[in-house]
Amino acid sequence: MEKSIKDSRSILRTIEEEFHLPDQDIRTFSPLVLAYMGDCIFDLIIRTVLIKEGNRQTSKIHKAATDLVKASAQAALGDVLLEVFTEEEVTIYKRGKNSNPHSIPKNAEIMDYKKATGLEAVMGYLYLQNRMERAVHLVRTGYHILNKEI
């Protein structure tokens, strides 16, 4: 019998077990690798919230998601979260922000993109630490501070 969705085993642990992945010290990972994962995790959190708010046209969900995951929105979120990040999270954020990405999207300002990369690095780090609850809490807290409801 398959386990229910509410089982305590996380997505990360399920993937690690099913693919027999070794434990690794993610503190040694490049901040761009963490941001690569964090981009997906941040997007997952935002899309989950938007979809669970209620059934609607995917074009409307996509528009709302795009407004929340673009570099400028992530940069604003990163700015306010600096006040609530732990020391460890600040370190990861700064590593991501100070990294040298190989390309910058044409619709993003360089500083916004760097701050967004910092935020994504934190999201990726927390996910790979199996601390999704903290990642979700930070996103919710940041939007509350910004007085934006999602």
Q: How many other C-beta atoms can be found within 10 angstroms of the C-beta atom of residue 32?
A: 17
For residue 39, indicate whether it is catalytic. yes
Task: Report which of 76, 142, 116 is spatially closest to residue 150, judged by C-alpha positions.
Answer: 142
Both tokens of 1, joined, read 């019998």
Instruction: Please state, in angstroms and rounded to a whole number, the distance separating the CA atoms of residues 97 and 93.
Output: 6
Task: Report which of 41, 64, 37, 67 is spatially closest to residue 53, judged by C-alpha positions.
Answer: 64
Active-site residue (options: 7, 23, 25, 39) = 39
**Residues belonging to the active site:** 39
